Amino acid sequence: LLQIDFEDVIAEPEGTHSFDGIWKASFTTFTVTKYWFYRLLSAIFGIPMALIWGIYFAILSFLHIWAVVPCIRSYLIEIQCISRVYSICIHTFCDPLFEAIGKMFSSIRATVRKEI
């Protein structure tokens, strides 16, 4: 929740304060104005905005439930077959090749000498 207080908006630094009467009057004016304008704006725009946001989230939920999730699940089901074939091909052709290259290079020893 957004909570805005008078001190957040009108922040007089320490050591610099207006007269107490001015401070109290401005505090009261700010607080009452904020309170009543919020109520007025809520009364005017609250119901239309609630209607708009309700329709928006209903459409969003409908699309998610009836379009997005089924598409993703069907894609995962269809790609599973391709994934298995791809895995078999990789293990059949690449594993022996990389194992042979690894055995070829496993006997190489490197030493570093520092000559002065």
What is d(CA 67, CA 71) in angstroms, rounded to the nearest whole number?
6
What pLDDT was estimated at residue 11? 65
Work out the angle at residue 27's Cα, subtended by the Cα atoms of residues 24 and 30, and round it to the nearest 5 degrees: 150
Portion of the chain with pLDDT greater than 90, in percent: 62
Residue 85: CA atoms inside 13 Å, Cβ hemisphere, count?
A: 5
Identify whether 69 is part of a domain. Answer: yes
What is d(CA 46, CA 74) in angstroms, rounded to the nearest whole number?
41
Identify whether 87 is part of a domain. Answer: yes
- Give residue-wise pLDDT tens across range 23-70: 788 888 888 998 999 999 999 999 999 999 999 999 999 999 999 999
Number of domains in the chain: 1
CA-based radius of gyration for the chain: 35
Range of the domain at 67: 20-107
pLDDT, mean over the chain? 88
pTM of the model: 0.51
